[in-house]
A = this chain, B = another copy of it.
């Protein structure tokens, strides 16, 4: 071994976290409550039961329980792929000639290829415990659908996945892998739901959106006996499960005698970023440390950097509860030329609140060609082909490390490497063949979506 700190560090048995951490229990100000779109009143836990299974509805609404025990059967599955490694990007550091230390938490080492499995396992387990007949969900790039298909196969639950049509057509192998795990995969918008038919009527050639796929999945869950809906990001419960990323990262860094000065995560709906930063944000809130947090999003879908902090629907079909979050408007769909994932119109209410309050220090957007520059460089140096989503964080980590080279500061950088790019070779090929283009919406492009934000008497006029 050439270096003192290993290039890849995996927690020893006796240090593996057995609980998830609920950041809300330490937040001095809570995210604004979910609202019933009909009444404009805060949602009660019971109102969520037709959508979510009961245990998950409770987790969604629980802002006081600081730690949740990870159930034994969930832990059994976690132990098949966790703890995930905390890696030191020695080759990248050397190439950049930076005094910065670059760490990344690598969540791509399971078959789903991403961090999504962390919450998928939990959600499938609770659904199976409740004796449900099946689940519905949506998937965009396919990472969530793959993870949930795996989890449902393990817990013997039928699953219907509404897959954004653009991805469905571009990524046939994503569809195949979900089918291999036994899931039914439907291109969205589809003619199987009212929401899908309405969207198709308006734009028969649409390539779909996450918001639209959510509408369809929620409609099917609420109209099929014994079915419930599950979501892979945005929700409080998802950030709770994903806290395992941050918890492991923090303990691993402690074992190595390290603590991050900067924590960087890509941000679509916020599941990875929220999970990664959770225990470090606890330190910040409690005054124990002061890490600098950066969220990185695509320039073509810039909810945090250019969205409104407002109540909005979580879906395009306007059937879900209203959440207060940074949003581009629930019918915003990023340009079809955007290959880099992170296509959701909104952002986790927890992260939105933290950003609004200045605790999540910075949000930054990146153009996709800059992101793929970083991805290919990273792949060649670190022998991991990153997912385009994850590569937003790599881009930012490289930029911060280059800044350290200028200033001479030896900062400790931690970023989340959420997954692998195995199913994104079409995008990599576009990049290599230089047919990949960048798209940044103008203010005029965004304005109509903001105009259509829901009006809620007394709350949001």
Q: Provide the A1-33 mask, 1 if CB < 8 A to any CB of B, else 0.
A: 111001110101100100000000000000000
Judge if A423 is at the interface, Cβ distance under 8 Å: yes
Known contacts A76-B7, A80-B383, A379-B153; A420 and B177 CB within 8 A of each other: no
Tell me the bound Cα distance from A7 to B3 in angstroms.
29
Partner of A428 from the list B8, B180, B182 (CB cut-off 8 Å) is B180
A235 is an interface residue with CB less than 8 A from chain B: no
Given contacts A75-B1, A153-B380, A379-B181, A428 and B176 within 8 Å (CB-CB): yes
What residues of chain B lie closer than 8 Å to A428, measured between beta carbons? 176-177, 180
Give the secondary structure class of A's interface. Answer: helix
A425 contacts B385, C-beta separation under 8 Å? no
Interface extent on A, as a size class? 35 or more
A72 within 8 A of B: yes
Q: In this complex, what residue of B is CB-closest to A73?
A: B2
CB distance from A249 to the nearest CB of B (A): 17
The answer, yes or no, to whether A67 is at the interface (CB within 8 Å) is no
Chain B contacts of A422 at CB under 8 A?
Answer: 113, 173, 177, 422-423
Check B425 against A173 for contact (C-beta < 8 Å). Answer: yes
Give Cα A90–Cα B181 distance, bound, in whole angstroms: 18
The answer to whether A72 touches B380, judged by C-beta atoms less than 8 angstroms apart, is no
**A429 interface residue per 8 A CB criterion:** yes
Considering the chains assembled together, what is the distance between the CA atoms of A80 and B8 in angstroms?
Answer: 6
A314, CB-defined interface residue at 8 Å: no
Is A87 an interface position by the 8 A CB rule?
yes
Say yes or no: is A382 at the interface (Cβ < 8 Å to chain B): yes
Asked if A79 is an interface residue, CB under 8 A from chain B, the answer is yes
- Taking CB atoms, residues of chain B closer than 8 Å to A6 are 13, 79
Query: Which residues of the partner chain B approach A331 to less than 8 Å between Cβ atoms?
Result: none
> Is residue A117 within 8 Å, beta carbon to beta carbon, of the partner chain?
yes
| CB of A167 to closest CB in B, whole Å | 14
Q: Which of B8, B151, B173 contacts A79 (CB 8 A)?
A: B8
Q: What is the CB-to-nearest-CB distance from A147 to chain B, in angstroms, rounded to a whole number?
A: 9
Chain A 197-238 interface residues, beta-carbon cutoff 8 Å to B = none
B110 near A76: Cβ-Cβ < 8 Å: no
Provide the bound-state CA to CA distance between A395 and B210, in Å: 39
Bound state CA distance, A379 and B179, in angstroms?
Answer: 12
Chain B residue contacts of A13, Cβ below 8 A: 1, 6
Write 25 A-B pairs (CB below 8 A) sorted by A numbering. A1-B16, A2-B76, A7-B76, A7-B80, A8-B79, A76-B91, A80-B87, A80-B91, A80-B382, A81-B383, A111-B379, A111-B385, A150-B379, A150-B383, A153-B379, A153-B380, A172-B425, A173-B173, A176-B425, A176-B426, A176-B429, A177-B422, A177-B425, A180-B425, A422-B422
